[in-house]
Structure formats: structure tokens, C-alpha cells
């Protein structure tokens, strides 16, 4: 329990190579762990735009930023519409964009949000509490096929089908209303050996449902097409992921933008080659140091990839 410790902080700030008078975008403000470092480096002409789906992140992150400088704007929206939100504020080009994906520690720790399998609460999991669709609707409304697919795709859960069946069986008796009801339905689908394994048996199920509720993967895919187009020359797009699904999508999108057409498929004529407009800041993803891993368990699976506009 406790405050959110920013992950890969110095590496991501360094990779953004912040210009004093630049325009920067933090797509995932949270508790302003990264944003406050960006804002501190900006001069009078610089500006930071900070997105979050979660109003409490905007309230608390915004208060932290206010103590540093007034040169920022909060945006209560998904980063899936970052181009429209920025355009509405007269911004069509930026010097750097950062996304630190996933859930923040306060979201997990506030029991009533329903993100944690360790705290009993109504099934909610909405990052944006004004959204009409919650974990309750996924768990009690989806059919067997849909539910299995969500658990398999977003949770990489190998018992996806058995868990979905167990959920449907439970629903025949009564709706699954709480996080602990869902944990019970998951446990019923797991073998005794599986239940003895390290790690919580419902971890992947909760992850999958959270991603579905918040359209997290769709938002990432959309952002990956929009964000590179907003970069100015030498602009940077830095993305911190925590799951292989997100990392793969980021890696593939960056590869497509930095690969000369044809160079992976044999010989091409020089006249056919269109030079890419971007390059990778580092070939391999940047990962936490052993010190960070030891001090912040949340950093365990983190990877930072950075795209640079030429
Ligand atoms: C890992 S936290 C960011 C933490 C932040 N970098 C810090 O150090 O304090 C991720 C944040 O992104 C927000 N978020 C997730 N998906 C989003 C989306 N599609 N659009 C806007 N915000 C999103 C969550 O509500 C959460 O506050």
C-alpha cells in the first residue's frame, strides 16, 4: 500500500531530452511522478499537457504540478483521442510524448475501486468513474465465448475457458457482485496444483477484465498510430509497458515506422526505397536497474521504448 513510485523515471526523462521551451504531453498523469520532472525542466514558453481518465489522478496530480509551475493543462480524456484533444487546444505538433501504461498504485489500493483481488469491493475497475460500463457488466453480461476470449487475450490466462464456465455457472445462481465473488469463481475453475502455485490465482483474470472495461488495448493501438504523427523534428515518444501484449504492440508499431520499406524482404531498387521518418532511441528496450527492481516490485516487468522523429 502507499504512494505511487514512478517507474523508469530517470531513463524516460533522459530519453525525452526535454527542451526548455518545448511542448510536452504526459498521456498518463497518475500522481505526476513523471510529469513533475518534465514540468520542472520547462521554461516560460514551455508547456505540459497531461491526460488521465481518472478524475482523482487529475485532482491529485494537478495539485502536485500546481506547486511547481502554472505551465500545464489537465485533460480528462482517454489518450485514444489525443489528437482531437490537443487540436481543440490549438496544438498540432509537440516535442515529446510519454505514456506510462496501466494502473497506478492508488487505484489498486483504494479498495472501493474494485481493481484489487485482495480487497473485497463491488466489481467496478473503471479508471473513469463517469464511464457507463464496469467490471460488473463484463462479468455478468458477456457470453461464454466473449468472456473466454477476453481472459485469453488480455490475461494470457491458460484456464480461460474453465474460468469463463465457472463464472457462467455462478451467474445462474446469482450475479457476481464483488471482487471476492469473482475470486471464488476463479478458484473453483483451477486445479489444486494451480492453486498451490506462486502468485494469486485471480491475477490474470482481474488484469484481463480491467483491460476490457477500460478499453486499454484499443486505446494503446489508437495512440500508437496518432502519437508519432504529432512529433516535431527530434521529438520523442516514450512508452513504458508492463505486459507483453502492450510491449509487442509498441515494438511492432515502432518497427513499422523505422524500417525501410522492402529491406526485410530482399532486394529493392534504390529508387523504391522510402527513407523512414523515425529512428529508435535504443535498439533494445530499456529496463529497470537492479536497484530499482529491488526497491520497487511494480517495476519488475517494465520496459521503455522510445521513438525519435528525424
Ligand atoms: C501507471 S499510472 C501513471 C503513473 C504516473 N506516471 C506517475 O508516475 O505518477 C497510469 C495512469 O494512466 C491512466 N490511464 C490509463 N489508461 C488511460 C487512457 N487510455 N487515457 C488516459 N489515461 C489513462 C490511469 O488512470 C493511471 O492514472
pLDDT means per 10 residues, the chain with 310 residues, are: 83 98 98 98 97 97 98 98 98 98 90 92 96 97 98 96 98 97 97 92 97 97 98 98 96 94 62 83 97 93 97
DSSP 57: H
Integer angstrom CA distances of residue 234 from 22, 200, 228, 239, 286: 11, 43, 11, 16, 19
Query: Is the distance from the beta carbon of residue 9 to the nearest atom of ligand 1 less than 6 Å?
Result: no
User: Which residue, among 62, 63, 13, has the nearest Cα to 42 in the 3D structure?
Assistant: 13
Integer angstrom CA distances of residue 213 from 178, 202, 216, 232: 15, 16, 8, 33
From CA 69, how far away is CA 113, in angstroms rounded?
A: 31
Per domain, the residue ranges of the chain are 9-106+216-309, 132-213
The pLDDT assigned to 264 comes to: 55
If phi > 0 it is left, if psi is from -120 to 50 it is alpha, else beta; for residue 90 that is left
The pLDDT assigned to 1 comes to: 46
Residue nearest to atom 3 of ligand 1 (CA): 30
> What angle (nearest 5°) sits at the alpha carbon of residue 147, between those of residues 146 and 149?
65
Ligand 1: atom nearest CA of 51 is 21
Ligand 1: atom nearest CA of 52 is 22
CATH superfamily of this structure's domain 132-213: Putative methyltransferase TM0872, insert domain (1.10.150.170)
Under a CB-based contact definition with an 8 Å cutoff, are residues 135 and 124 in contact?
yes
9-106+216-309 domain in CATH 3.40.50.11540?
no
Same fold? 9-106+216-309, 132-213 = no
By most ligand atoms within 8 Å of CB, the mutation choice from 2, 8, 28 for ligand 1 is: 28
The pLDDT assigned to 263 comes to: 55
Ligand 1: centre distance to CA 52 (Å): 6
Under a CB-based contact definition with an 8 Å cutoff, are residues 159 and 194 in contact?
yes
The pLDDT assigned to 136 comes to: 98
Under a CB-based contact definition with an 8 Å cutoff, are residues 231 and 94 in contact?
yes
From CA 39, how far away is CA 19, in angstroms rounded?
A: 11
> What angle (nearest 5°) sits at the alpha carbon of residue 215, between those of residues 39 and 16?
25
The pLDDT assigned to 3 comes to: 73
Provide φ and ψ at 278, rounded to 5°.
Answer: -135, 160
Residue nearest to atom 7 of ligand 1 (CA): 33
pTM greater than the 0.85 cutoff: yes
The pLDDT assigned to 278 comes to: 97
Ligand 1: centre distance to CA 27 (Å): 7
Cα radius of gyration (the chain) = 21
- Cell triple for 252: 511492432
Containing H/E element for 94? strand 94-100
User: Which residue, among 190, 187, 185, has the nearest Cα to 140 in the 3D structure?
Assistant: 185
DSSP 21: T
Residue nearest to atom 8 of ligand 1 (CA): 33
Query: Is the distance from the beta carbon of residue 212 to the nearest atom of ligand 1 less than 6 Å?
Result: no
Q: What residue spans of the chain are helical by DSSP H?
A: 9-16, 33-41, 55-66, 82-88, 105-109, 135-141, 144-155, 160-173, 179-189, 192-196, 203-213, 216-230, 244-258, 290-295
> Residue 288, class by beta-carbon neighbours within 10 Å (0-12 exposed, 13-18 middle, 19+ buried)?
buried
The pLDDT assigned to 109 comes to: 87
Amino acid at each position: 500500500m502507499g504512494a505511487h513510485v514512478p517507474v523508469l523515471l530517470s531513463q524516460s526523462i533522459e530519453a525525452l531530452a526535454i527542451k526548455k521551451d518545448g511542448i510536452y504531453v504526459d498521456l498518463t498523469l497518475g500522481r505526476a511522478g513523471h510529469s513533475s520532472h518534465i514540468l520542472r525542466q520547462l521554461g516560460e514558453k514551455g508547456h505540459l499537457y497531461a491526460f488521465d481518465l481518472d478524475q482523482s489522478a487529475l485532482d491529485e496530480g494537478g495539485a502536485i504540478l500546481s506547486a511547481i509551475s502554472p505551465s500545464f493543462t489537465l485533460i480528462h480524456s482517454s489518450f485514444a483521442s489525443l489528437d482531437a484533444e490537443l487540436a481543440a487546444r490549438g496544438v498540432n505538433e509537440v516535442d515529446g510524448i510519454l505514456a506510462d501504461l496501466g494502473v497506478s498504485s492508488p487505484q489498486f489500493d483504494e479498495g472501493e475501486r474494485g481493481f484489487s483481488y485482495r480487497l473485497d469491493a463491488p466489481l467496478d475497475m473503471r479508471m473513469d468513474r463517469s464511464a457507463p460500463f464496469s467490471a460488473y457488466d463484463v462479468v455478468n453480461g458477456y457470453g461464454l465465448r466473449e468472456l473466454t476470449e477476453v481472459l485469453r487475450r488480455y490475461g494470457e490466462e491458460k484456464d480461460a475457458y474453465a474460468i469463463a464456465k465457472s463464472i457462467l455457472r455462478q451467474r445462474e445462481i446469482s450475479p457476481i457482485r464483488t471482487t471476492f465473488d469473482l475470486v471464488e469463481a476463479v478458484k473453483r475453475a483451477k486445479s489444486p496444483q494451480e492453486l498451490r502455485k506462486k502468485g494469486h490465482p485471480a491475477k490474470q483474470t482481474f488484469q484481463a477484465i480491467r483491460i476490457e472495461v477500460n478499453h486499454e488495448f484499443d486505446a494503446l493501438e489508437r495512440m500508437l498510430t496518432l502519437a508519432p504523427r504529432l512529433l516535431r523534428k527530434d521529438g520523442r515518444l516514450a512508452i513504458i509497458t508492463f505486459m507483453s501484449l502492450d510491449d509487442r504492440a509498441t515494438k511492432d508499431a515502432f518497427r513499422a515506422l523505422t524500417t525501410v520499406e522492402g529491406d526485410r524482404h530482399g532486394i529493392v531498387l534504390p529508387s523504391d526505397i522510402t527513407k523512414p521518418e523515425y529512428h529508435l532511441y535504443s535498439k533494445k528496450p530499456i529496463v529497470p536497474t537492479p536497484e530499482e527492481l529491488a526497491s520497487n516490485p511494480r517495476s519488475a516487468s517494465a520496459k521503455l521504448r522510445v521513438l525519435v522523429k528525424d
